[in-house]
Structure 1
Amino acid sequence: MVRGVVVFLCLQACALAAPTAGAPWSASDGGRIINGTDASIADFPWTVSLQLAGVHWCGASVIGDSWALTAAHCVFRHEVAAMSVRAGTSTRGSGGVVLNVSQAIIHDEFSYITAEYDIAVVQVAEPFPLGPTVQPVGLPAEGYDPPAGLPVTATGWGATQGGGAAVQLQSADLEVLQRSECEARLGQVHEVTASMLCAGHPSRAVCHGDSGSALVHAGTQLGVVSWGDSNCLGPVAVYGNVASARAWIRGVTGV
C-alpha cells in the first residue's frame, strides 16, 4: 500500500512536508472541534494554548508545576524563543497568564513522517500559577491501553464548523475505538501503531488547530491530538498514546 504524508492537526501548515493530498493542513483551513460545545476552563483547568509569536498554534496540557504536554509536531523545528503558553482562561487570545517557554523536548522516537510517538513536553520559564483554573491533569500508568468504548473528552480552540474563529474553549465527547478502525479508515495515510490511540464519534471530531490538546477520561489524559483525515468529517482521529510514553515523560520531567 502506498501511504501518504501524515495529516497533522496543527493550526497552520507543518510545512516541512510535501504538499500532497495527504499533507498537513494549511493556515487557510483554520481550526475547529466539529460539533463541540462551549466549555469553561474551570472544568478543564489543565488546558493551555501553546502560542508562536503570541498567536495560538496548538493545544497543550499542564502536567506539573512547570511542565506541559503537547504534540511533537507542534514544536518540531520551531524556535523556543518564539514559544509561550497562555493558561487559566477559556478564551485563547485573552485572559489568564502568559508564560514564556524555556525548553521543548521531543520524544526520542518521534518521526515526522510516520507520526510515531507524536509527544513532546515544554517547560515554562516560571511555575504555573496553580489554582481553580490552572491544575495539572492526571497521567495514566505506563502501558495502560484504554479499552474500546471508554468515554473520553477532547478540548481545543480554533474555528467552528461554520468557519468563524472560536473565542471560547470547545469540548467534544468521544469514545476510544479499536486501532483497527482507525487503520481501516486512515491506513492509506499511515499505519496506526501502539504509540497511537484511536478515538472518535459519528458526528463530533477534532480538527485543524486542535493538535497537542488533551484527550481525557475522568481527569486522566490518555491521548494527545495528533493526526487524521484532511476533511475532519470522518468519525475517527489518531492521538499520541500517553501511556506508551509515560516512562519517557517521567524521565525528562520528573512528573
Structure 2
Amino acid sequence: MKLFVFLIFAVAAANAVPTGVKKPLRVMDMPKQGSIEGRITNGYPAFEGKVPYIVGLSFNGGWWCGGSIIGNTWVLTAGHCIKDGSGVTIYYGASFRHEAQFTHWVSGNDQIRHPHYNDQLNNDIALIRTPHVDFWSLVNKVELPSYNDRYNNYNGWWAVASGWGHTSNESGMHNYLNCVDVQIISNDECRNVYGGGYVIDNTICINTSGGKSTCSGDSGGPLVTHDGNRIVGITSFGHWEGCTAGQPAGFTRVTGYLDWIRDNTGISY
C-alpha cells in the first residue's frame, strides 16, 4: 500500500508545472512584441528555395499555421492547428505569405489530428491529405527521420525553424518567410521551465537565447536538422512572457510518431 501511494505522488510530481509558473502557450497564442511582432524572431529572411518543404496553411476560420510537405500528397502540421473541421488553403512555394507558386484547398475531411492530442499539447501533431504535388526547386518534401534515429534525442544538434508569422496588414518582413538557426536542448532543461505535463518524451525543445525563436503564427511549422536535413520537430508552444523571453520553445518530437505517420500515409525511412 505504501509503495502504491509513493507511486501516485511520484507521477503527480513528474507531471506538475513548476511552482509559481503559468502554462506554456500555443505558439499561435503567444504575445507579440514590438518590431518582431508575429514572425520568427531575430532570424533572417529565407532566400527563395531555402526551405522548399514549408507550406502556409490559411484555415477558413481565419487562423494561420505552417506545415511541411512530407510526400506528394501529405503535409505535416501541429494538432492544435486542426479544429472545427474547417477547410484550409495550402500555399506552396511562397516567399511572401500570399504569393504562392500555387495553392490547393483541402476540406476538413482530409485532416487527421492525432487521436490523443490534449490541452497540454501532448501529441500535438496532424496530417493533411492533399492533391498530388510534383516536386521541383521551390516546392519539395522534407524527409522524416529514419527508424534508426527514433531513439536519438538530438541534444546539442543545430536545426533551422521557419515560418511567416501571424497574418498582418502591416508591410515589411511580417509577410516574408523567415528562418532562425537554433540549438536543441535536453528535455530535462525544458521541464525545469514548463513541467512534465507539457514536456513529455515526445517533446523536443530549443534554446532561444538572444530572443531567437518561433513566434505567433509559426505554429505547425518545421524544425529541420542542419545535419541530414530531417524534420525532427513541429512548432508547438512557447513561453507566456513572449517570443523574445529567452526561454525554451517546445516542438512535437517527430521521431515519437513515425509509426503513426507510416500507418496513415505509408511514408517511412
> Above 0.5 in TM-score?
yes
Match of 2:206 in 1: 199
Deviation larger for 215-224 or 231-240: 231-240
RMSD: 2.5
Alpha-carbon spacing, 1:31–1:178, altered in 2? closer, same or farther (3 Å): same
Match of 2:99 in 1: 94
Equivalent pairs counted in the alignment come to 235
The one-letter code matched in structure 1 to 2:25 is: V
How far, CA to CA, are the matches of 1:253 and 1:152 in structure 2?
25
Between structures 1 and 2, the one with greater helix share: 2
Paired residues of 1:49 and 1:56 also in contact (CA < 8 A)? no
How far, CA to CA, are the matches of 2:27 and 2:124 in structure 1?
11
Give the percent of matched residue pairs that are identical in Structure 1 and Structure 2. Answer: 30
Q: How does 1:128-147 map to 2 (within 5 A)?
A: 128-142=133-147, 143-147=150-154
Which structure is larger by alpha-carbon Rg, 1 or 2?
2
The one-letter code matched in structure 2 to 1:222 is: V
Match of 2:45 in 1: 38
Q: How does 1:140-219 map to 2 (within 5 A)?
A: 140-142=145-147, 143-158=150-165, 166-187=174-195, 190-203=197-210, 204-217=212-225, 218-219=228-229
Q: How does 1:1-255 map to 2 (within 5 A)?
A: 1=16, 4-10=22-28, 24-25=29-30, 31-53=38-60, 57-75=64-82, 77-80=83-86, 82-102=87-107, 103-111=110-118, 113-124=119-130, 126-142=131-147, 143-158=150-165, 166-187=174-195, 190-203=197-210, 204-217=212-225, 218-230=228-240, 231-233=242-244, 234-255=246-267
What TM-score, normalized to structure 1?
0.84
Paired residues of 1:54 and 1:84 also in contact (CA < 8 A)? no
Unpaired segments of 5 or more residues in structure 2?
1-15
How far, CA to CA, are the matches of 1:53 and 1:27 in structure 2?
23
Between structures 1 and 2, the one with greater strand share: 1
Paired residues of 1:41 and 1:90 also in contact (CA < 8 A)? yes
Unpaired segments of 5 or more residues in structure 1?
11-23
